[in-house]
Amino acid sequence: AAVAAGKIGSIPSVSGPNLVGDGVTLAAGTGIEGLKLAVNTIEHASTGAGAISLTEVDGAAEQRQGLVIEKIETTSGSVTIGAQDTIEVHSVRAGGGSSTAQLTSASGSVQVAPAAGGAGSAAIVAGSDVVLDGPQGITLRGGLSAPDVLEFHLDGTFLISGIPLDFTANTVIIEE
């Protein structure tokens, strides 16, 4: 676990990952930005204020490719997560009226798991926009909530399973 009263950030002179491990927990008072991780699971990442911006890389001999996000939450800031392979999301909360939750897989899919709160609760919530980018497809088994934009970019399958098709936002974009 890494805990800071202020900000958690990357070390500029480090070219590889800043943190390596199976799972990671991060907590910061004013943001988590610019970290490059080589982990399988983000167990919990949270900020009192400020954004969360993380990039996950898979090692050449890594046995489990991709990234599982158990819980990420900001009180007032956007969440931006990039991963080399598939992203499996359980809970992301980007607080604040203009916040965005953006999850991007470089070569895999984005899979949104059912929300832990059960029926009626969303797995991904943002104050303004939700953007999912999965070149191998997007699977929604959990809901999304954002008042302004719901945006999906994919080359593969767009699958909605186990939840009603209910996209409510000022703008909905589905782009192949």
Give residue-wise pLDDT tens across range 16-28. Answer: 888 888 999 999 9
**Mean per-residue pLDDT, 78-88:** 96
Instruction: Find how far residue 14's CA is from the centre of its chain.
Output: 23
Mean pLDDT, all residues of the chain: 90
> pLDDT (tens digit, 9 = 90+) per residue, 136-152?
999 998 889 999 999 99
Residue entry with tokens 């990420």: 72
pLDDT number for residue 62: 64
pLDDT number for residue 120: 58
pLDDT number for residue 60: 56
Report the chain's C-alpha Rg in angstroms: 15
* Residue 45 contacts residue 64 (beta carbons within 8 Å): no
Q: pTM for the full model?
A: 0.93
* Residue 144 contacts residue 130 (beta carbons within 8 Å): yes
